[in-house]
Homo-oligomer: A and B are copies of this chain.
């Protein structure tokens, strides 16, 4: 791994996005999101995914110029059409809109249809928290898992984000409904390693820790078995209703994932309850959690987002780790 500065990465990604048709401010903003995801230790939704994002732009799946348009106003809820624009830019704009609505109503909610992969959902949770709001958002996806009781892929892994603002650093839950992501399975397969816990079924219907067996069977395990399967279904239902958009069923008919439905909620908590009040409550819960002694001589208990914040600080100081081969490939992208 080489370590590179945030600016250097962002500038290179901006150059490529400009070349594929983004205007300057949108290229910079989009490059910022990819760079920040990498800086935060989520390269799977940052640099690692950048080449395929650019590929989607070149193929016309992602329209670099499209900006979301409001379709229907239902009070504190609005429905927007993402017009197949860049997922990260669409999502950022919609969380901004939800935040604006929350200033007026206490709570704002946007349903966004016809958009593209938002990369890391946590980006938009952090955005809400930076604006003093509790951020809640989720997306549906193409079918990636079987529902509980079947071996046929039917449900999305539908990542869900809940982020609570806190001066010392937000609490950020960013989780998909599958126990392990395909990215994680692929990394472990390459290394020849096993999962720490069963992550799916093999072709014989046995629970397994072998990443290769799960990638072959397409039978990733939903979190909590039937519970995560049910939650994925409900997120898809509520999301496609709020967005008046496509469900996983319809998205899965397309050759490549596009036209997904997303929900963005912001709750205007800090300005209405007071920063000290919010911090007092959140800090007390976190302090109590961190006091829990480690089991079986393991490492200390962490709160969701704690590791990410530490990674961000380290990478901003020392530089962001980048795989040299990946960087070479990105540098070589001739559009």
Chain A interface residues (CB < 8 Å from chain B): 74-77, 104-107, 109, 134, 136, 146-152, 154-155, 162, 164, 171, 173, 175, 179, 197, 201, 205, 222-225, 227-228, 230-231, 233-234, 236-238, 240-242, 244, 247-249, 267-269, 272-273, 277-278, 281-282, 284-285, 288-289, 292-296, 298-304
B residues near A146, Cβ cutoff 8 Å: 292, 295
Given contacts A149-B301, A223-B224, A269-B241, contact A104 B77 (CB under 8 A): no
* CB closest chain-B residue, reference A282: B237
B residues near A304, Cβ cutoff 8 Å: 230, 233-234
Question: What are 16 contact pairs spanning A and B, CB under 8 A?
Answer: A76-B105, A76-B107, A77-B105, A77-B267, A134-B242, A149-B298, A149-B301, A151-B296, A162-B238, A164-B241, A179-B224, A222-B224, A223-B224, A234-B304, A247-B284, A249-B285
Query: Among the interface residues A151, A179, A238, A300, which one has the most CB atoms of the partner chain B within 10 A?
Result: A238
Given contacts A225-B197, A292-B154, A295-B150, contact A234 B74 (CB under 8 A): no
* CB closest chain-B residue, reference A161: B234
Q: Are B233 and A224 touching (Cβ within 8 A)?
A: no
User: Which of B77, B148, B237, B296 is A285 in contact with, Cβ under 8 Å?
Assistant: B237
| Number of chain copies forming the complex | 2
Query: Among the interface residues A148, A197, A205, A304, which one has the most CB atoms of the partner chain B within 10 A?
Result: A304
Q: Are B233 and A285 touching (Cβ within 8 A)?
A: yes
Interface of chain A, main secondary structure: mixed
Q: Are B295 and A151 touching (Cβ within 8 A)?
A: yes
Q: Are B205 and A296 touching (Cβ within 8 A)?
A: yes
B residues near A228, Cβ cutoff 8 Å: 223-224
* CB closest chain-B residue, reference A305: B230
| Nearest chain B CB to A263 CB, angstrom units | 10
Q: Are A289 and B241 touching (Cβ within 8 A)?
A: no
B residues near A197, Cβ cutoff 8 Å: 225
Interchain CA distance A107-B263 in the complex, whole Å: 13
Q: Are B223 and A175 touching (Cβ within 8 A)?
A: no
Interchain CA distance A76-B77 in the complex, whole Å: 11
User: Which of B107, B162, B292 is A150 in contact with, Cβ under 8 Å?
Assistant: B292
Interchain CA distance A237-B299 in the complex, whole Å: 23
Q: Are B164 and A238 touching (Cβ within 8 A)?
A: yes
| Nearest chain B CB to A61 CB, angstrom units | 23
Q: Are B281 and A241 touching (Cβ within 8 A)?
A: yes
Interchain CA distance A298-B147 in the complex, whole Å: 13
* CB closest chain-B residue, reference A269: B241
| Nearest chain B CB to A317 CB, angstrom units | 26
